[in-house]
């Protein structure tokens, strides 16, 4: 054996790692958010229904949840509201709302009229949490796993089809992890 074989050996090892990496990658490829696979940004924001209390990301550790970014001014949020209600009704996963660029009164009125799919709604008054989460526009929905890692992001109107095809399998498949 000569020492000049060493680079080849190192490269072979690397090739194996990359090959395994590719096999793992389909479930994280094709997704645009840089947040995927990273810890969900922390937040501690006032609760819409009871501003004296706070909604904290830390309290959500240990369970799957959806973070849905919405506002009463957003037409697509109105369009996905039925889907959110049916997801909430299914009781498979809890939805946390992030009320964004909105007024509290409008938001409460909206939930009273259309029904409330959210466990809690956090109010992002200064828009900073939305920046932390890399929100481009409402609606956006993030799926966060029990370890607090963002595993999936849906941009735009969420439908029950998308929920069944993309979100539910992840929650079920990842139950063990």
Partner 1 sequence: MLPELGLFALILALLLAALQAFFGIAGPALGRDRWLAALPMAVAGQAVMVATAVGCLVAAFVGNDFSVRYVAENSNTALPLFYRVTALWGAHEGSLLLWILLLALWTVAVAASATRLPPRFAARVLGVLGLISAGFLLFTLATSNPFLRLDPAAPDGRDLNPILQDPGLAVHPPILYTGYVGFAVAFAFACAAMIEGRMDQQWARWTRPWTTLAWAFLTCGIALGSFWAYYELGWGGYWFWDPVENASFMPWLAGTALIHSLAVTDKRGLFKSWTLLLAILAFSLSMLGTFLVRSGVLVSVHSFAADPSRGIFILGFLILTIGSALTLYAWRAPLLKSGAGFEFTAREAFLLFNNLLLVTAAATVFAGTLAPLIADTLGLGTLSVGPPYFNPTFMVSMLPLLALLPVGVHAAWKRGHLGEKARLLLYTLAAALVLACGFVFGLYRGGRVLTVIGLTLGIWIIASSLIEPLQRWRRGLSLSRAVLGMSVAHIGIGLLAIALTTVQSYTTERDVALAPGGSSAVGGYEFRLEQLQPVEGANFSGVQATVTVLRNGQAVAVMNPQKRRFWVQQQVTSETSIRMLRGANVLIALGDDLGQGRWSLRIQIRPLVSLIWLAALVMAIGAVLAAADRRYRTARAAAGAPLPAAAQEVA
* Contacts with partner 1, residue ranges (CB under 8 A): 2, 4-5, 7-8, 11-12, 14-15, 17-22, 24-26, 28-32, 34, 36-39, 101-103, 125-128, 130-131, 136-137, 147, 149, 156
Task: Estimate the crossing angle of helix 104-114 against helix 75-90, to 10 degrees.
Answer: 50
Q: Are 144 and 65 in contact (CB under 8 A)?
A: yes
Q: How far is the CB of 114 from partner 1 (least distance, A)?
A: 21
Nearest to 65 by CA among 123, 173, 124, 141: 141
Q: Which is nearer to partner 1, 68 or 129 (CB)?
A: 129
Smallest distance from partner 1 to CB 62, Å: 15
Q: What is the rounded CA–CA span in Å between residue 100 and residue 138? A: 8
Half-sphere exposure of 78 (CA within 13 A, CB side): 6
Between residues 75 and 91, which has the closer beta carbon with respect to partner 1? 75
C-beta of 38: minimal distance to partner 1 in Å?
A: 5
Angstrom distance (rounded) from CA 148 to CA 66: 11
Query: Nearest approach, Cβ of 26 to partner 1 (angstroms)?
Result: 5
Q: Which is nearer to partner 1, 20 or 165 (CB)?
A: 20
Q: Are strands 54-56 and 44-46 parallel, antiparallel or unpaired?
A: antiparallel
State which residue, 22 or 165, has the beta carbon closest to partner 1: 22
């Amino acid at each position: 054996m000569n020492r000049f074989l060493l680079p080849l050996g190192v490269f072979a090892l690397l090739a194996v790692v990359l090959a395994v990496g590719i096999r793992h990658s389909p479930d994280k490829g094709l997704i645009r958010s840089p947040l995927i696979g990273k810890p969900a940004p922390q937040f501690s924001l006032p609760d819409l229904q009871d501003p004296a209390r706070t909604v904290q990301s830390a309290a959500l550790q240990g369970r799957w949840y959806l973070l849905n970014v919405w506002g009463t001014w957003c037409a697509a949020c109105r369009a996905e509201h039925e889907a959110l209600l049916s997801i909430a009704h299914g009781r498979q996963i809890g939805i946390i709302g992030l009320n964004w660029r909105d007024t509290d009164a409008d938001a409460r009125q909206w939930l009273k009229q259309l029904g409330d799919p959210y466990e809690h709604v956090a109010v992002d008054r200064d828009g900073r949490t939305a920046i932390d989460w890399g929100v481009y526009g409402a609606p956006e929905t993030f799926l966060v796993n029990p370890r607090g890692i963002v595993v999936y992001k849906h941009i735009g109107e969420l439908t029950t089809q998308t929920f069944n095809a993309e979100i539910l399998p992840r929650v079920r498949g990842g139950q063990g992890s």
